[in-house]
Amino acid sequence: MEESDRRRLVENMVALENDLDVPALYGHLIQGDVLSHDDVELIDAQMTRRDKAMKFLGILPTKGPRAFAVFVGALKKSQFHLHELLAQGAGSTCPASDAVFLDVRDQMKRYYASCLKDTYTAPWLQELPLDLNEIYVSLKLLSADRLQNKVKEVTQDQIFVSRQQQTSTRILIEGDPGIGKSTLCQKLAFAWSTDSCEEHCCSECIHSFSLVIYLSATDYRGYTDITSLIHNHLLPRDTRISVDSLSRALGDRSVLFIVDGYDEASTNNPLLDDLIQRKLAGQSTVLLTSRPNYARDMLKCFDVKLFINGFDTRQRLEYVQRFAQSVKRPLSDFPQFLFEENDSTELCSAPLNLAIVCLMSTVENVLFRTRTELYKSVHEFILCKASHRLQLSRDAIENTIVGPLCKLSFTAYTEGRAVLMEGDLKRFHSNLEPFCQSGYLIKKLRISRLRPESRFSFSHRTFQEFLSALYLQQIPEAERLEWLNSREDLKQDESVISFLFGFLEDDEEALLCLTSKVMEQTLFSLVIPFDVEEFHFSSNCPHSHLIFRFLCELKSLPPAIEAVITRNCAPEIGIHSKCSFHCLSGITSIFSISDLPPDSLSLIIGCLSRIELTDVISMLRVIAKSKSIGRVTLYHPNADRLNIFLNAMRVGQSDSSVQRIKIDYPDVASFDGTMSIGEHTRAMELCYNRDVNLSLAFLRSAQNKRLASFEMIDSELNLECVGLLSAILNQSRLINLSLDVLGVAQFIPSSTDLKQLRSFNINVSGITKECWPNFNRLLHNQSLQKLTIKFCDFSKKYCDDLRQNFQNMPSLNNVYFKGGWINDSRGFGRVLSSVRNLQILSIDNIDFKLEDVEVICKVFPKLTKLKALKLSVCLEMCSSDLYSDSEASNFNCFLLFRKPQTKQTKRTRPHGQREPENSQFTGFQRIIRAISKCELLEFLSLGNYNRMPIGDDAIEDVCSAVTSLKRLKYLHMPKNQLTGIGKKQIYDCLNLSPWQRTIFEFKKIIYIN
C-alpha cells in the first residue's frame, strides 16, 4: 500500500474504529481481491464490531497497492461519511470546500450536542430538565403494506434501511399529539452529534449521513434556498463562512434533513414543498414528522410511510423506571396505576402524557381518567406555582396572564402559528416577564439560532391547544359555532375539540349543541344506500369517528347525549385498520346505550393494526351483551383471529346478542378445525374465501339452524360443500339469500320454494337455458324487495323475462346490476321502466354503447320515485350503427365522464357515414341531464374507481345537474381526478361553506345541503 494511503488510514483511525462496519463490505472486498475467505473468518472471529474493524485495518495494508482504492470505493454506498473522509484526505491537503464542510459539520455537532442533551417536557418545571440519553425509550413504528393489507413493526434503528436500495429517500413519520415525534427527531440529531455506530445499528443508520440538518417545518417559511436556511438558522451569527462557500461545500454530500412538525407549517411553505417533492436536494434524504392528515396531498412523494403507535406496557414501565432513576426517586413514589393495566393505560401510552404524570407525581398526587382531566390538573398546578412565584392572587393571574394567553393561543392556532411573537404579548403587557414566568411559555426555540425578534413557544403544541380550547369554552356559544363552521377539516382540530368536550361536560346544553354540530360536519348520520361491497371498506379511519374519540373525554354519557346519538347514529359502524383505541372505546360506549333499538347497529371489524388484541376482545364481549347489535362483519381475519373473535362474541349462543355473522375476505390459507357458532344464529355470510376447508367448516356450522339470511359469495367449494349448501337452501325460512359461486345453476331448484324471500343476490352468468324457468319462478315472488343480478348479458330473452317478472313484483324497490354488458338496449330500458316502485338503482361496471345511452336517457326521467342512483359504466367510443362489428371492436373503451386525453387518429369511413360528434362528451351530457330530471334523488354516485374518474371537463355539467336536484344530499365521486380549479367550481356553484367542502374518505363524498 502506498505511504500516502497508509497515512490517510492513520489520520482517520478514530473515525474508522468508531464507525466502520466491515461485514457490510465483504461482497465488494472479496470481489475486488482485497479479502480472502480466510481473512473473513479471521475478522468474524472477533467478538465486537470495533474489534472486527481493528482486525481488518491490520490486514488491509498487506493487500497491495489497489487495496486502499477498492476499500474506499466499497464505502461509498453504505458508509458514505467514511468514504468522504478517506477520499478527500485530511489536514492541509483538503480542498477549500472540504475544509469548509468539515468546519460546518463540527460546528453543528457541537451545537446539537449542547442544545439537545436535555428535554424539557414541562415548561412550569424548567428547574427539572431531563437528560435525553437517560430518559429516552426507543419507539416502535408501524409500516403498512397496502398491497398485502399487512402491517409490520419497524424499530427505530430500521428507519433508514430503505436507503440501501436508493440514495434519495423521503420518509414520513406520522403520529398523534404527544406520541413522541419531536423527541424522536431530537434523539436522532443528538445521536448523530455524539454517538458512533454501535452493534445494534443497521448498515444504514443515522451515522451514515455526513450532515444532519435538524429544523422545524416553521423555520423553512420565508426562505427560497436551502443554503441560506442552514446558514441563518444553524451557524453562529459571527461565522466567517459565507452562503456561497457553504453552498459549494455541501455539494452532493450525504445529507439528512430532519423536518419536525409539518402540521404546524403545512401551508405557505414553498421551500419545504420543493424539498419534499425532490425539486431541490434531490440526492438527500428527508425525514418529516407530522400529525395525521396534514401530509395527504404529499403522500405520493414519500418512499417510506411510518406511524408511531405509542408505548406498549413494556415501554411504559421502562420509561417510569428511567424517569425514577433520572430524578433519583424510588418507584414507590409514583402512582400505582402506572404499573397496572387500567383505565389510564391507554392515556399513558402517549409519551407526553406519561412524562407529565411522572413529573406531576414528583410534586403532588395525580388522579385523572381522561386527557382533559390530566391537563386540568397541570393547569391548576401552574396557576398555584405562578401565584406563588409572582406574588399575585389566583384571580389576578387568571385575568392578567392566563386570559390574554388563552386568546393569544387561540389566535395563533387559527393562523397556523405554533409560536407567539414579542409584539403579540406586548399588546397586553409592556413587561413580558410575567408571561415567561407563568409556566406555559419558554423564551427559546429548541433548534434555530435565529431570533430577529423574541419568540415564545409552548413546550408542546398540546398546551397551546389546551389554552385554545379553554378560550373557546369561555366565549359565547354563537361565536364557538361560528368558529366550527369556518373549519374545513375537523380532524386537524381534533385535539382542541377533544379538550372542549371535556370542558363542557358539566354544561349539558352547550355539550349537546357541540355534539350535534360535530355530527353534522362529519356525516355521522350518513347512510350509504348501497352495500358495503359497493362502497369498498377503507383502511382509513373516517371523519365520523371523531365523535367516538370525543366521547372518551366524558366520564359518562349525559342523557341528552345518549338521546342525540340514538336519533342520529348511522346503522353501520366500521372499525378500520387505522382506527385507534379511542375509536374502540367510544364505539363500546355507544353499544352500551340502553335506549338504542334492538338489532339497530351493525359492526364491521377490519384489520385493526393499531389496536391491541386484548382491547378488541374486551369490546366484543361488551357488544355481545348489547341488544342493539345487528350483523357483525369480520373483514380480512386470519384463522387465529377468526376463532378468537367468534369465541369472544359467543356467536349464536343463548347468552349472546350476536346472532348475525359475516366473514369477508378471510386471510386463511388452510383452516383447521370447526367454527364455534351457536344454534341461535339467524344469519351467516361468507364472501371471497379461497380456502375450501374454511368453506366446509362454515357450511357444516350452518346446518340445522333456523337461518333467516344466508350468503355465499365467490368462495371455493368441493363436492361435500355442494351437498351441504343444497341442504341449507331447502329451508323455507330464508328471507335474504346471496349466491355467487361456481355452478350456481344447480342450486336454483332448491331455492324456488323460498316464498318469504325479500332480498336475492345472484350471479346469472352460470345459469343455463334449462335452468332459466326455475330462475323465473324464483323471481316471481311477491315479497321480494331487493334484487342484485351480476354478470348478465341483457339479451332479448333475459330482458323480456325480467320485465315480465318485475311488472308483477310490487314490493321490489332496490335493483342492483353489477358487471356485464347490454345486447338489447331497448329491452334493458323496458326492464328499468317495469320496476314500478324503484327507489335505489345501481348500474355498476356495465359496458354501454351510445344507443344504450339514448335509451337510458329516456328512462331516467320516468323513474319518479328514484332516491339513490349509482352509475358506473364504460362507454364505447363509437356507435355500432356507424361502424361494422370488426371496426368497433378495434376501438378502445373510453371513460364516460372524461374526454379522451390524447388525440385519436382520424379514421376513414365508408362513403355516406357521418362523423360522430364528440361521442363521450355528448353521451355524458345527455346522461347527466337525464339524471337531473329525477326530482326525488337524494344520493348520486358517479364513477367507480378506475372505470369512470371525473375530471375538470365534466364539472360544468355536474354542477348544472346537482343544482337542479333540489333534494340531493350527497354527491359521491370515487377517486375523482378534479384539480383545485374543478373543486372550486363545485364549491362556488353550490355555495358550500368550508366544512361542507370536505370531501370525505379521500375525496369520495361531498356533502351538499
The reported pLDDT for the residue numbered 197 is: 63
Rg (CA), the chain: 33
Please give the Cα distance from 272 to 221 (Å, whole number).
Answer: 8
pLDDT band at 758 (very low <50, low <70, confident <90, very high): very high
The reported pLDDT for the residue numbered 946 is: 45
Crossing angle between the packed helical segments 581-591 and 613-623, to the nearest 10 degrees? 10
The reported pLDDT for the residue numbered 707 is: 94
Shared-domain flag, residues 266 and 396: no
The reported pLDDT for the residue numbered 905 is: 35
The reported pLDDT for the residue numbered 334 is: 84
The reported pLDDT for the residue numbered 666 is: 94
Identify the CATH number of the domain in which residue 220 sits. 3.40.50.300
Higher per-residue pLDDT: 227 or 157: 227
Is residue 879 scored above 80 in pLDDT? no
HEC assignment per residue over 24-72: HHHHHHHHCCCCCHHHHHHHHCCCCHHHHHHHHHHHHHHCCCCHHHHHH
**Strand 170-174 to 304-308 pairing:** parallel
Q: What percent of the chain has pLDDT over 90?
A: 37
Higher per-residue pLDDT: 228 or 147: 228
Identify the CATH number of the domain in which residue 414 sits. 1.10.10
Higher per-residue pLDDT: 724 or 433: 724
pLDDT band at 781 (very low <50, low <70, confident <90, very high): confident
Please give the Cα distance from 303 to 102 (Å, whole number).
Answer: 30
Identify the CATH number of the domain in which residue 1005 sits. 3.80.10.10
Q: Determine, yes or no, domain membership for 752.
A: no
Instruction: Report the mean per-residue pLDDT for the chain.
Output: 82
Q: What average pLDDT does the segment 40-44 reach?
A: 90
Please give the Cα distance from 518 to 153 (Å, whole number).
Answer: 34
Please give the Cα distance from 778 to 749 (Å, whole number).
Answer: 9
Q: Determine, yes or no, domain membership for 735.
A: no
Crossing angle between the packed helical segments 461-474 and 494-503, to the nearest 10 degrees? 50
Q: Determine, yes or no, domain membership for 256.
A: yes
The reported pLDDT for the residue numbered 693 is: 95
The reported pLDDT for the residue numbered 1006 is: 52
Shared-domain flag, residues 155 and 287: yes
Give Cβ neighbours of residue 1003 (< 8 Å, ≥ 6 apart): 973, 975, 976, 978
Shared-domain flag, residues 133 and 263: yes
Shared-domain flag, residues 430 and 453: yes
Residue 580 phi/psi, 5° resolution?
-110, 175
Q: What average pLDDT does the segment 470-478 reach?
A: 95
pLDDT band at 535 (very low <50, low <70, confident <90, very high): very low
Q: State the sign of the Cα–Cα–Cα–Cα dihedral 534, 539, 544, 548.
A: positive
Q: Say whether pTM exceeds 0.75.
A: no
**Which of 54-63, 512-521, 984-993 shows the lowest mean pLDDT across its residues?**
984-993
Is residue 993 scored above 90 in pLDDT? no
Q: What percent of the chain has pLDDT over 70?
A: 85
Shared-domain flag, residues 159 and 304: yes
Is residue 996 scored above 70 in pLDDT? no
Q: What average pLDDT does the segment 197-202 reach?
A: 57
The reported pLDDT for the residue numbered 1004 is: 43
pLDDT band at 685 (very low <50, low <70, confident <90, very high): very high
The reported pLDDT for the residue numbered 915 is: 38
User: Which class for 673: exposed (0-12), middle (13-18), buried (19 or more C-beta within 10 A)?
Assistant: exposed
Shared-domain flag, residues 866 and 965: yes
Please give the Cα distance from 313 to 320 (Å, whole number).
Answer: 11
Q: Is the CB of residue 376 less than 8 Å from the CB of residue 369?
A: no
Shared-domain flag, residues 113 and 85: no
Shared-domain flag, residues 878 and 990: yes
Choose the final residue of a domain: 618, 653, 687.
Answer: 618
Encode pLDDT of 334-372 as tens digits.
887 788 776 667 778 888 888 888 887 777 776 778 889
Encode pLDDT of 935-977 as tens digits.
999 998 887 544 556 778 788 888 888 888 888 888 887 777 7
Highest average pLDDT, of 404-408, 421-425, 727-731, 850-854, comes from 404-408
Total count of domains within the chain = 5
User: Which class for 461: exposed (0-12), middle (13-18), buried (19 or more C-beta within 10 A)?
Assistant: buried
Give Cβ neighbours of residue 659 (< 8 Å, ≥ 6 apart): 651, 652, 680, 681, 682, 683
In which domain, by residue range, is 556 found? Answer: 489-599+607-618
Is residue 482 scored above 90 in pLDDT? yes
Higher per-residue pLDDT: 20 or 534: 20
Choose the final residue of a domain: 73, 94, 115.
Answer: 94
User: Which class for 34: exposed (0-12), middle (13-18), buried (19 or more C-beta within 10 A)?
Assistant: buried
Q: What average pLDDT does the segment 732-742 reach?
A: 87
DSSP track, 940-1009: EEE--TTSS---GGGHHHHHHHHHH-TT--EEE-TT----HHHHHHHHHHHT--GGGG-EHHHHTEEE--
The reported pLDDT for the residue numbered 471 is: 96
Shared-domain flag, residues 87 and 121: no
Q: Determine, yes or no, domain membership for 134.
A: yes
Shared-domain flag, residues 232 and 152: yes
Q: Determine, yes or no, domain membership for 319.
A: no
**Which of 525-539, 556-570, 586-600 shows the lowest mean pLDDT across its residues?**
525-539
**Which of 133-137, 358-362, 509-513, 610-614 shows the lowest mean pLDDT across its residues?**
358-362
Is residue 121 scored above 80 in pLDDT? no
Q: Determine, yes or no, domain membership for 971.
A: yes
The reported pLDDT for the residue numbered 557 is: 94
Choose the final residue of a domain: 94, 118, 133.
Answer: 94
The reported pLDDT for the residue numbered 388 is: 79
pLDDT band at 918 (very low <50, low <70, confident <90, very high): very low
The reported pLDDT for the residue numbered 521 is: 87
Owner of C-alpha cell 370488426: 886
Is residue 881 scored above 70 in pLDDT? no
Shared-domain flag, residues 297 and 166: yes
Residue 151 phi/psi, 5° resolution?
-125, 130
Shared-domain flag, residues 222 and 282: yes
The reported pLDDT for the residue numbered 31 is: 82
Q: Determine, yes or no, domain membership for 729.
A: no
Encode pLDDT of 223-268 as tens digits.
999 999 999 899 888 888 888 888 888 887 889 999 999 988 888 8
Q: Is the CB of residue 224 less than 8 Å from the CB of residue 273?
A: no
Q: Determine, yes or no, domain membership for 775.
A: no
The reported pLDDT for the residue numbered 902 is: 34
Residue 12 phi/psi, 5° resolution?
-110, 20
